[in-house]
Amino acid sequence: MSAFSSSIPLPLIPDDLTLEQFILRDTGDSGRPRRPNSAPWLICDTTGRTVYLKEIRERTTGLANSLHSKFGIGSTSQVLIFSSNHIVDYPICIWSVHRLGAIVSPCNPSSTVPELTHQLSQTCPSLIIAHAAVMDVALASACEVGIPPERIVVLEGDGDSYRDRVTINDLVSQGLRLHSLELGRKWRTGEGEGRTRIAFFCASSGTTGKPKIVAISHFAAVANVLQIATHNRVNDETYGSAEERRYRPGDVCLGVLPFYRQSALLHLMHFVLFTGMTVVVVPKFNFKAMLDSIVRHKVNQLMLVPPQVALLCKETIVQNYDLSAIRAVLCAGAPLSMELNQQLIDLLPDAQIGQAYGQTESTGVASMCSTRTKHGFNGGELVPGVTARIVASDGTPAGYNQPGELLLRTPATALGYFGDQDATREAFVDGWLHTGDQVEINERNEIIYIDRLKEIMKVRGFQVAPAELEGCMLGCEVVADVCVVGIPDTFSGEVPLAFVVLTAAAASTVQDNPEAAAQLKGSIMEYVAKLKSPYKHVRRVEFLDSIPKNPSGKLLRRLLRERARQLIGTSAKL
């Protein structure tokens, strides 16, 4: 079977370190760039407070000591973090738990009680660390699964009304007085690859059903940081001038993506810090505030998801900001259409712009835009250490530029789905990760994403990828966002229906005007008809205020598929 891989060799991956040790205890032989003394590790977006390595190490030690002595957290424990981004304590909580050899389970802070209860029942943590703003949900969910309220630790927040509970600051202060504790031993050679050395229980994207819990080892997390660093030549003195290099020590990266998501957890929090860059920690995304932050902190690195890119390209407020300092933009979490990618290049012509492809199950990045090109238009080249296969629908191996399911083999592959042996056996087969994504690979070993295999529509026997139509429609000036689903049709079997979010200007023209709305829907369908083959034409357009997505920007198509069924009925004929 044909296989594809990067020609760049991957350096030796340490197999005797936790992720915390790898990031915070550099021994000088990891190949990381040297951070300028003036460059803090973290900056608080709202207050401007700077945090350096000395404070990070102290707080990690103090919190680890207290978690061990007060709550008995150790190598057999799981700790769930239920919080938005926090200037110091989100990464501190992670590294403190890892110092103890325990497992971190990050959770979406916007989860409802049933959603949080589901993750708690899957991961069975013995301790919850929750931001004060979501404490009510944490308490109710903990009660559902039998976790005592005294085993919920509070991350401070504005207007905090939970001062009667133990806080992270309390634990850090108490732990720093426990000088006798010796925690965080170095593992034996090879121990980090063991199946018991799990760093994270991360929820999968949940685009086609309830999220599954992906078990990620310390070794896989360290491997992915090194894969990204090697691919981007972050410590290669032969790679261009300092100004030409994509990632440089001392660069400032905006941390606007939520830390609990895999794309931010590994890439933003760990890779960026490993390479000597500074993260500006943004507690919660707001588009205007993001633009203000870019200017205020002189941000030159952006890591975004497609909805944020769409706002950059389509909102008129952007014209009021000087974004010329931005040197590089990486879009990940979901594919970025060629049309939107080009609009971003037009907005920031001097910046390096590209995409990355990966899954929670691959621990993060499997391919990324090459350093040989300034502007990338697809998922990028396979990163060092990754081997890929493309399997056609008939089970035969596909070659270059032939579509099929993407299979990956990488040292960063997850261990499987915790507590779900059937799903693990289906996705992780003989060392290969079956991604469930339909892609092509070109002669440069670049991934061209087509769509999820389960999302492909069959129209008159032809395969139609919703993502292709969505990318096309985003090129229409009145379309701010879009999701395409298939609806049943007697003649064609299935035809595309598009849920569209209009730009603010277009939305104002159709408000309370059904005739104008009908005309605009027709013009959007005509736009697609001029650019796509007849079997790909959109047969119906419905306007929405927003498209449901997960925090990585992936469309929750299943929710709109259900809405489409409600709109037309299961026997609709167009």
Domains of the chain, first to last: 52-186 (3.40.50.980), 456-568 (3.30.300.30)
- In which band, very low, low, confident or very high, does the pLDDT at 573 lie, cut at 50, 70 and 90? very low
Instruction: Give the tens place of pLDDT for each residue, 368-415.
Output: 999 988 998 888 999 999 999 999 888 899 989 999 999 999 999 999
Query: How confident is the model at residue 219, as a pLDDT?
Result: 94
Look at residues 360, 313, 366 and name the one whose alpha carbon lies nearest to residue 336. Answer: 313
Instruction: Tell me how crowded residue 549 is: count the other CB atoms within 10 A of its CB.
Output: 21
Axis-axis angle for helices 168-176, 89-99 (nearest 10): 50
Which whole number is the average pLDDT over 421-449?
91
Cβ atoms < 10 Å from Cβ of 505: 12
Over 90: is that where the pLDDT of 123 sits?
Answer: yes
- The SS3 call for residue 64 is helix
What gap in Å lies between CA 77 and CA 73, rounded to an integer? 6
Give residue 339's identity as a one-letter amino acid code: E
What value does the mean pLDDT take over residues 250-273?
91
Distances (CA, A) of 288 to 203, 268, 285, 477, 490: 29, 21, 9, 21, 47
Grade residue 181 by pLDDT with cuts at 50, 70 and 90.
low
Rg for the chain (alpha carbons), in Å?
Answer: 24
Residue 497 has pLDDT above 60, yes or no: yes
Task: Say whether pTM exceeds 0.75.
Answer: yes
8 A C-beta contact, residue 219 and residue 197: yes
Q: What mean pLDDT value characterizes the chain?
A: 88
For range 108-133, the mean pLDDT: 93
Averaged pLDDT, 84-88: 81
Percent of the chain with pLDDT over 70: 93
Question: Is pLDDT at 160 greater than 70 in this prediction?
Answer: no
Query: 447 pLDDT exceeds 50?
Result: yes
One-letter amino acid of 382: L
Please indicate whether residue 472 or residue 95 has the higher confidence score (pLDDT): 95
What's CA 567's distance to the chain center, in Å? Answer: 32
